[in-house]
Amino acid sequence: MPHSSSPSASPSSCAMIDLFGRRVTYLRLSVTDRCDLRCVYCMAEDMTFLPRDQVLSIEELDLLASAFVAAGVTKLRITGGEPLVRKGIMDLFAGLSRHLQAGTLRELTLTTNGTLLARHADELARAGVKRVNVSLDTLDAARFRAITRRGSLGVVMDGIRAALEAGLKVKLNAVALAGITPDEVFDLIDFAHGHGMDLTFIETMPLGDVGVDRIDQYYPLDALRRLIETRLTLKDTTERTGGPARYARVAETGGRLGFITPMSHSFCENCNRVRVSATGMLHTCLGQEDAFDLKAPLRAGGDGAALRATIATAIRAKPRGHDFVIARDGTPALARHMSALGG
């Protein structure tokens, strides 16, 4: 895959500091809105996906990511949908690994549902990926099938095992769901920490019509933490991994728990990330409708000045924070599904 036409820029030519003094160093790049699962908090059961001709090509995704790296992004997470269903995805990882080798990118990683991880774990490790986030909301096969509407827990477990054997550090992400997570929280902690994995709990976010009532799904992490502390001792830490999670160590296991609380406790004051959809739309806040078209300046070619200017304009317009709220009737705050940007 050719890379000679990558837009070049120094950090000063595309200032990645917003009007609130926050430096943007983290890009979450969606490579597809498609997924082989239909998780109840993320998608409707019958989804209409983007026409393939509207999605950026692998080379365009590389050029776009490279422009952000040149502008000062040091952490790049590939997301979806499910990124590993994207045709040619390993070519993208192989190409982007040059930024790791050059030292301009500190971390290249991905979030995955794990269904295809066993197939790609070794190749990801060879591309310089050091860690992956795997979504796992339950250890019960029947519940897993119900939550994902079609998935196999055994396949995901095989993927996790393959990732660990390939030397990848694995972090599990579990969406806190009423009626499910409280029943399984201690089993999830035992499983994660017993295999040397971090575990992060995430409050469900009101994005897109998923065909179920958001109020019925929502379980606040304050309540979950109180439940955990009935059996385990948590000690807050100042550790950060570049994202919004706040971490605590479990004295009894030595492992780490993360808590991401977009609903109950905003983490916007130190937000360092932006997201780009598979169609090239830049969103500077997951909880706002703001969007800046990067596809047009990307395809305009030239020296990349138009692309750099659009990115700089978007960063300056990054809002102070999101406005997540679950309406009393359970309708989503935004029409955009979580799968469009990968959370």
Q: For residue range 133-169, list pLDDT tens digits in order.
A: 999 999 999 999 999 999 999 999 999 999 999 999 9
- What is the enclosing helix (H) or strand (E) of 214? helix 214-217
Q: Give the pLDDT confidence score for residue 204 in this predicted structure.
A: 84
Q: What does the DSSP assignment read for 12-57?
A: GGS--B-TTS-B--EEEEE--S--S---TTT--SS--PPPGGGSPP
48-57, 91-100, 157-166, 313-322: range with lowest mean pLDDT: 313-322
Percent residues over pLDDT 90 in the chain: 67
* pLDDT bucket at 319, cuts 50 / 70 / 90: confident
C-alpha–C-alpha distance, residues 290 and 292, integer Å = 7
Identify the CA nearest to 134 among candidates 147, 146, 121, 145.
Answer: 121
Tell me what the mean pLDDT of segment 257-265 comes to.
76
Instruction: Say whether 47 counts as a known binding-site residue.
Output: no
Identity of the residue numbered 103:
G
Which residues contact residue 156 at a Cβ distance below 8 angstroms, ignoring those fewer than 6 apart?
Answer: 113, 114, 115, 117, 134, 136, 144
Contact 204, 218 (CB under 8 A): yes
Q: Give the pLDDT confidence score for residue 98 in this predicted structure.
A: 98
Domains of the chain with bracketed CATH: 26-340 (3.20.20.70)
Query: Tokens 């917003």 sit at which residue?
Result: 18
Instruction: Say whether 39 counts as a known binding-site residue.
Output: yes
Burial of 56 (C-beta count, 10 Å sphere; 0-12/13-18/19+): buried
Q: Give the pLDDT confidence score for residue 4 in this predicted structure.
A: 42
Q: Both tokens of residue 343? A: 């959370």
Tell me what the mean pLDDT of segment 331-338 comes to.
47
Instruction: Say whether 271 counts as a known binding-site residue.
Output: yes
Handedness of CA 185, 155, 152, 133 (dihedral sign): positive
- What's the chain's length in residues? 343
Instruction: Say whether 14 counts as a known binding-site residue.
Output: no
Cα separations (Å) of 59 from 17, 55, 80, 101, 306? Answer: 27, 11, 17, 19, 18
pTM above 0.95, yes or no: no
Strands 26-30 and 273-276, bridge-based pairing: parallel
Instruction: Say whether 41 counts as a known binding-site residue.
Output: yes
Identity of the residue numbered 123:
E
Instruction: Say whether 77 counts as a known binding-site residue.
Output: yes
The answer on pLDDT for 335 being more than 50 is no
Instruction: Say whether 98 counts as a known binding-site residue.
Output: no
* pLDDT bucket at 20, cuts 50 / 70 / 90: confident
Peptide bond before 211: cis, by omega within 30 degrees of 0? no
Identify the CA nearest to 66 among candidates 17, 105, 31.
Answer: 105
Instruction: Say whether 274 counts as a known binding-site residue.
Output: yes
C-alpha–C-alpha distance, residues 242 and 98, integer Å = 21
190-204, 232-246, 255-269: range with lowest mean pLDDT: 255-269
Which residues contact residue 17 at a Cβ distance below 8 angstroms, ignoring those fewer than 6 apart?
Answer: 23, 24, 315
pLDDT one-digit tens code per residue, 84-99: 999 999 999 999 999 9
- What is the enclosing helix (H) or strand (E) of 90? helix 89-102
C-alpha–C-alpha distance, residues 181 and 224, integer Å = 8
Instruction: Say whether 263 counts as a known binding-site residue.
Output: no
